[in-house]
Amino acid sequence: MISLELMLYCLVAGGAYLLLISFLLEMIGRGLKISRGIPAELLESPGWTWFAINYIMELLFFVFIPTMAYSFLYLILPLSGVRAGMAGALFAFTLGVVPALMGLAVRLKLSMPYLLYFLLGLLLKLGGAMTIIGYLYSL
């Protein structure tokens, strides 16, 4: 049986982690001036509205959908624990994010430090959220 209470815990804990790591990565990126060299027409102007919209999108794709998928797969497969969460995150990252961004890097002339920082941020967000979900399902 799917536990709605456990799913709510996953959403709250994953959302809090995502908010914290998004804020830290944004501050570090500004400090490193990671978007230097990219034309202004390609970048969105950073602000609270942009941060909120980006956070809601990432909350949907990194926390909400994985929580739903994990809760259904938990009934069928014996998946639980931090290892299962990290394995799911690495699987999704390797098959979903990396090919799309590498294809984009070939088509657009974006700076490699920006792309690598963006990939690292996505890995930290997805890996942390999936690890939290896996850990909470192992309790």
Q: Tell me the per-residue pLDDT of 44-92, one tens digit each, with 9 for 90 and over.
A: 777 889 899 999 999 999 999 988 988 888 778 777 778 888 888 888 8
Alpha-carbon distance of 60 to 11, in angstroms, equals: 10
Percent of residues, the chain, with pLDDT higher than 70 = 100
Domain count for the chain, please give it.
1
Query: Taking the model in full, what pTM does it have?
Result: 0.86
Q: What is the pLDDT of residues 9-51, one digit of tens each?
A: 999 999 999 999 999 999 998 898 888 877 777 777 778 898 9
- Residue numbers of the domain that contains 89: 4-38+45-138
Alpha-carbon distance of 119 to 97, in angstroms, equals: 8
pLDDT at residue number 63: 93
- pLDDT above 90: residue 94: no
Q: What is the pLDDT of residues 95-119, one digit of tens each?
A: 888 888 888 888 877 788 888 898 9
pLDDT at residue number 20: 97
- Is the Cβ–Cβ distance between 90 and 127 less than 8 Å? yes
pLDDT at residue number 96: 84
- Is the Cβ–Cβ distance between 130 and 88 less than 8 Å? yes
Alpha-carbon distance of 121 to 22, in angstroms, equals: 8
Label residue 138 by pLDDT band (50, 70, 90): confident
Alpha-carbon distance of 56 to 125, in angstroms, equals: 13
